[in-house]
Chain A
């Protein structure tokens, strides 16, 4: 059983059969210790995994059916009350619309990343400089980014100054209305995360053998055809990974809006709301229900993606 998974996982299993046969051939005493040894290595990792990943999930599901406030010893079973509240109190569910801005932003982000990865995979002057510039924002501390862009969008800040330099005088309060604020914040998210997508795409494009381009060039293929028929198929796995990362990322946005606006003027996201419910209003039960809903949505999205784009390289160990 184990052997089949191993073979499908590894295209070249030169040493694969070592495990079982070796164990079977060994004398009885060694076989016993063999059986225990892996567990000695796994005790600590498994303990941490169960304590900090699985126990919280189990507890969270349990809390979501209670009215617990997170501190007091007593708690009451409320059945599906929290879920009904979540689905019927519209203001609790409206935060999901904010995710729409970030979802739209991630489309921009992926397209921009794809564009720059494509042009920088060809021969361009100062290639490494441009690559570094595009990637660097991804490495910057989120709080620093928040402050940089608070100043950027401030009244008389960077953006206003640039606009007036271009002759477009404006006193628009960029973070003043829900639409403008969410668009601005989503823009910051594009600024921050495009670099990661870009580097992933660039890596995938560069792993395409160069002869393919040469052959295409000889056959008279244009740059667009090279992109369409060589690059696009080559980066499909990375592209689908980026899409899933963006969707689950858009649903669980926290840092940028929390740091920049604290969730004011309609920029509250689902995670900000959950954190506030749990740690400011002590509604652990309701917050847990919200977190369970988010978890289910993210898992569903992942599942759909796995069905729609079956992973070419199923390398699950």
Chain B
């Protein structure tokens, strides 16, 4: 009995330790974002509480001077177009592969499968030249096209899901005179809603957080997305940790809200996305 109690205590101790490890760095940055530059200069220590817990001055500076408004705008545009495109591309591919038998079907499947094994970071050297030759370099189109065109995981998610939709539904629609496109639009697409939700969440979070692609393809300052705009804080705000912290909190906050409201969907989404 006592052994069980000891074990139970150890379990809770380890959980509390892990919670501290996760939350402490974030909390300190949040506290720092509320401090004034004088407080920072006094060197009261990273763990000290801010004098004025409602001091939002740093957020104003970060938002205005860090061009966070246009960054959120650009991110939103890319997010909506790329996620919308991914849903169309993924569902169309899944529909064609799962519901039709045609010549070279196997080859097409293998092409999509192999592509999933190629890590995107490795090929950017050459992808860059192609994007450049289309004149998409330094425009919002570069990340949009790349997010849309290289997402194999979403195709998997749609494929898995479309298999569970009975073919008899397609057939019934066809007997009523519907063509392949009508079946896709009126029967399959509406039934894919759970898969679409998964893709929106997984893809949305990935796009929101991506740094590599916007950093490589959109060097212009007015094309900054939240990752690259935040990254630029490093220069002008140099040692102004209170401003940098405010910028980081501004970027983390939307993620936290989405996570709190959509927790269940997010766990399921990432589980499906990773184990494809």
A residues adjacent to B (C-beta < 8 A): 1-2, 5, 10, 14-15, 18-20, 23, 34-35, 37-42, 44-46, 48-49, 51-57, 59-60, 63, 70, 112, 115-116, 119-120, 124-125, 128, 130-144, 147-149, 151-152, 154, 156-158, 160-162, 165, 191, 196, 199-200, 203, 223, 237-238, 241, 245, 248, 252, 254-255, 259, 271, 274-275, 278-279, 284, 287-288, 291, 294-295, 298-299, 302, 315-317
Contacts and interface: CB of A to CB of B under 8 A. Distances in A.
A130 B19 contact: yes
Nearest to A271: B121
Interface string B84-104: 000011101101111111110
Given A51-B149, A136-B256, A141 B15 contact: no
B223 to A, nearest CB: 16
A161 B100 contact: no
Contact of A57 (B118, B163, B259): B118
A206 to B, nearest CB: 10
B129 interface: yes
B227 A142 contact: yes
Given A134-B18, A147-B245, A199-B270, A18 B167 contact: yes
Contacts of B230: 141, 143-144, 147
B182 to A, nearest CB: 12
Given A139-B205, A279-B128, 18 more contacts: A20-B101, A23-B101, A45-B155, A52-B145, A54-B111, A56-B124, A70-B129, A116-B18, A135-B267, A136-B259, A138-B270, A143-B228, A151-B46, A158-B46, A191-B21, A238-B275, A288-B125, A291-B123
20 contacts: A10-B163, A34-B100, A35-B103, A38-B97, A45-B155, A53-B123, A116-B18, A132-B259, A133-B23, A140-B255, A141-B211, A152-B25, A154-B241, A158-B46, A161-B45, A161-B46, A199-B267, A248-B119, A271-B121, A284-B125
B125 A287 contact: yes
B24 A52 contact: no
Contacts of B21: 191
Q: Is the interface of B mostly helix, strand, loop or mixed?
A: helix
A70 B216 CA distance: 14
A254 B146 contact: no
Given A152-B25, A152-B28, A165-B47, A141 B122 contact: no
A44 B92 contact: yes
Contacts of B19: 130, 133
Contacts of A295: 118-119, 122-123
B209 to A, nearest CB: 5
B109 A317 contact: yes
A275 B25 contact: no
Q: Which of A23, A136, A203 has the most CB of B within 10 A?
A: A136
A275 B118 CA distance: 17
B127 A52 contact: yes
Contacts of B145: 48, 52
Contacts of B113: 316-317
Contacts of B166: 14-15
B106 A18 contact: no
Given A37-B180, A275-B124, A52 B25 contact: no
A48 to B, nearest CB: 3
A316 B184 contact: no
A294 B117 CA distance: 12
B100 A19 contact: yes
Contact of B275 (A162, A200, A278): A200
Contacts of A125: 12
B243 to A, nearest CB: 11
Contact of B127 (A56, A70, A316): A56
Interface of B: 7, 11-12, 14-15, 18-19, 21-26, 28-29, 32, 43, 45-47, 88-90, 92-93, 95-103, 105-106, 108-109, 111-113, 115, 117-119, 121-130, 145-146, 148-150, 155, 159-160, 163, 166-168, 171, 180-181, 184, 205, 208-209, 211-212, 216, 226-228, 230-231, 233, 241, 244-245, 247-248, 251-252, 255-256, 259, 263, 266-267, 270-271, 274-275
Contacts of A119: 11, 14-15
A39 B102 contact: yes
Nearest to A14: B166
B65 to A, nearest CB: 16
A61 B15 CA distance: 48
A20 B167 CA distance: 13
A130 B130 CA distance: 45
Given A136-B256, A147-B233, A274 B125 contact: yes
Contacts of A57: 118, 123, 126
Nearest to B30: A148
A46 B152 CA distance: 11
B29 A147 contact: yes
B203 to A, nearest CB: 13
A158 B25 CA distance: 7
Contacts of A128: 263
A316 B123 contact: no
Contact of B93 (A42, A131, A199): A42
